[in-house]
Amino acid sequence: MTVLTKQYIDGAFVESHGREVMNIISPTRGTAIGRVTLADEEDTRRAIAAARRAFATYGRSTKEERLEILRRLHAAASARVDDLTAAMVEEYGGVVQFAGLIVQSGIAAFQAAEQALLEMPLTRSWGKTTVTLEPVGVAGLITAWNANTLFICLKLASAVAAGCTVVIKPSELSALQTQVLTEALHEAKLPKGLLNVVTGRGDVVGAELVRNPGVDKISFTGSVGVGKSIMRDGAATMKRVTLELGGKSPTIVLDDADLGHAIPAALVLAFMNSGQACAAGTRLLVPRKQLEAAKRAITEATQGITVGDPADPKIAVGPMVSQKQYDRVQAYIRKGIEEGAELLVGGEGRPQGLDAGYFVKPTVFVNVTNDMTIAREEIFGPVLSVITYDSEEEAIRIANDSNYGLHAAVLGTDVRRARHVASQLRAGRVVINGMTDDPQAPWGGFKYSGVGREYGRYGIEAFLETRAILEAS
Ligand code: NAD
């Protein structure tokens, strides 16, 4: 039983002023594995004050000093890869094969920011005008529970590269993972107050960060509902905001696709991170004339998708993070059935033999129409909706007929044609022929999927203000 009672403020682990204690529940077993004392508004204000003091100096740091800080952060986090992965498996229930990748891509964000910063001109001048890119100030970084290390490292790397100091508010469901990460980052021996971490409730710690005039910028990853409230409440103190929100991402299988390749690739997109992924390709668009073949390929491919103990490297889908998330996924599966979609694979209830923990059955619905709830709302679990189309134009129209626009995929044999389709999709990222990543490519959403971009230079730009100095004579 791990007991966490401290926050990380001004370069040290200090006892929490907040008194509320929360149990940390294993999603795999459904039992308590730890306790955390949550931060309150006072802890948050202390962290903001520390970040403000540190900004007075760090805000004037040189590019070389920031590059050095990024290198130290990278080395410090790299030293704890295995511990960070183990914590993600234990506390979140992330399957180890994916958790390792998530942790590594989080750590790689420090290197990616270093490279991007090296290549970014922070000063431009012509005639008697000089334009400089200045750090926006103190940044509040508020993150979700489904990839804790990745979100924290990514936002921290961009903020630090820009010359900002930070107060991080991780999800209260990620206290153990955050503890391991904070201990790791402490070893980077950063200037005091540059990095502060307060773990507490969103409506307590998160809300204080959003309303406090000492915070200049909020970078948020989470749900649309909370994203809207941050935009609204942040307006009172003119906060700059970056919002990384939800998705209902389409995967278009073109009619020249080889289903033997396309369907397994589509299922990886749908079920990655046990379906608890903002980018999950949860709407699968297949040509109507190939529906029967696609159904056979899906049924066959899903037999290889194993559900169970996330620590087992053979397991592809782990438990949902919490009872609440389990209930949410079950409710959507029921809704799909009620609305007349046809259940091809999975369904309600727990998979056989997995009676403890928050396991759900990877589920595929066919005969889904794009107006059904399961095609419109983000489920955030391993539930895939198969929708048919008659023409390429219709596929594009259906793909774009969503409030969301975070991610999309196009699968087909003729790559030029796939690129042409990709260029018409209203999404921040489109992958062709399978899931892939590039730490310098922007990440973020059109429409309700968010505001702004992260990753590489795009992520750093989100923490910068532009200043022009003009000389009259
Ligand atoms: P959430 O919105 O409930 O919580 C996200 C964070 O916001 C948590 O730290 C939470 O404590 C905090 N929060 C809650 N209320 C707040 C308030 N009033 N003020 C300030 N902060 C508050 O989301 P979640 O359940 O943790 O995560 C799932 C959601 O995150 C999904 O919608 C998913 O799509 C989205 N997500 C998006 C991305 C992306 O990059 N676009 C990545 C992962 C997850």
Nearest to 278 by CA among 397, 180, 462, 151: 151
Tokens describing residue 8 = 């990380």
Q: Which residues are registered as beta bridge partners of 140?
A: 167, 218
Distance, C-alpha 182 to centroid of its chain: 18
Give the Cβ contact number of residue 390 at 10 Å. 10
As a whole number of angstroms, the distance between CA 429 and CA 407 comes to 5
Q: What is the pTM of this model?
A: 0.98
- At 29, the amino acid letter reads R
pLDDT for 244 equals: 98
CA atoms within 13 A on the CB side of 119: 11
Element (H, E) at 326: helix 323-338
* Distance from the alpha carbon of residue 227 to the mean position of ligand 1, in angstroms: 8
pLDDT for 139 equals: 99
As a whole number of angstroms, the distance between CA 358 and CA 354 comes to 9
Ligand 1 atom 20, closest CA: 206
3-state secondary structure of 275: helix
Ligand 1 atom 4, closest CA: 222
3-state secondary structure of 49: helix
**What atom of ligand 1 comes closest to residue 445's alpha carbon?**
41
* Distance from the alpha carbon of residue 223 to the mean position of ligand 1, in angstroms: 4
**What atom of ligand 1 comes closest to residue 224's alpha carbon?**
32
Spans of the chain below 70 pLDDT: none
Ligand 1 atom 41, closest CA: 244
380 to 6, 57, 177, 253: CA distances (angstroms): 31, 42, 20, 22
Gap between the terminal Cα atoms of the chain: 69
The DSSP bridge pattern shows strands 464-470 and 129-135 to be antiparallel
The burial class, CB within 10 Å (0-12 / 13-18 / 19+), for 19 is exposed
For a mutational test of ligand 1's pocket, the pick from 150, 153, 205, 226, i.e. the residue with the most ligand atoms closer than 8 A to its C-beta, is 226
* Distance from the alpha carbon of residue 165 to the mean position of ligand 1, in angstroms: 21
As a whole number of angstroms, the distance between CA 42 and CA 17 comes to 7
* Distance from the alpha carbon of residue 327 to the mean position of ligand 1, in angstroms: 18
Q: Report the pocket of ligand 1 as residue ranges, CB < 6 Å.
A: 142-146, 169, 171-172, 202-203, 206-207, 210, 221-223, 226, 229-230, 244-247, 278, 378, 380, 406, 450
**What atom of ligand 1 comes closest to residue 222's alpha carbon?**
30
As a whole number of angstroms, the distance between CA 287 and CA 63 comes to 52
* Distance from the alpha carbon of residue 144 to the mean position of ligand 1, in angstroms: 4
For a mutational test of ligand 1's pocket, the pick from 20, 142, 406, i.e. the residue with the most ligand atoms closer than 8 A to its C-beta, is 142
> What are the DSSP calls for 414-437, one per residue?
-HHHHHHHHTT--SSEEEESS---
Say if CB 172 and CB 38 are below 8 A apart: yes
What is the DSSP-derived secondary structure letter of residue 349? S
* Distance from the alpha carbon of residue 221 to the mean position of ligand 1, in angstroms: 5
For a mutational test of ligand 1's pocket, the pick from 171, 177, 233, i.e. the residue with the most ligand atoms closer than 8 A to its C-beta, is 171
**Residues catalogued as catalytic:** 244, 278
pLDDT for 467 equals: 98
What are the pLDDT digits (tens) for 64-77? 999 999 999 999 99
Distance, C-alpha 110 to centroid of its chain: 16
pLDDT for 122 equals: 97
As a whole number of angstroms, the distance between CA 411 and CA 415 comes to 9
Residues 6+ apart with CB under 8 A from 197: 7, 8, 47, 167, 168, 170, 178, 182
pLDDT for 342 equals: 98
Locus of tokens 């532009």: 466
For a mutational test of ligand 1's pocket, the pick from 204, 221, 228, i.e. the residue with the most ligand atoms closer than 8 A to its C-beta, is 221
Torsion sign across C-alpha atoms 148, 152, 153, 155: positive
* Distance from the alpha carbon of residue 202 to the mean position of ligand 1, in angstroms: 9
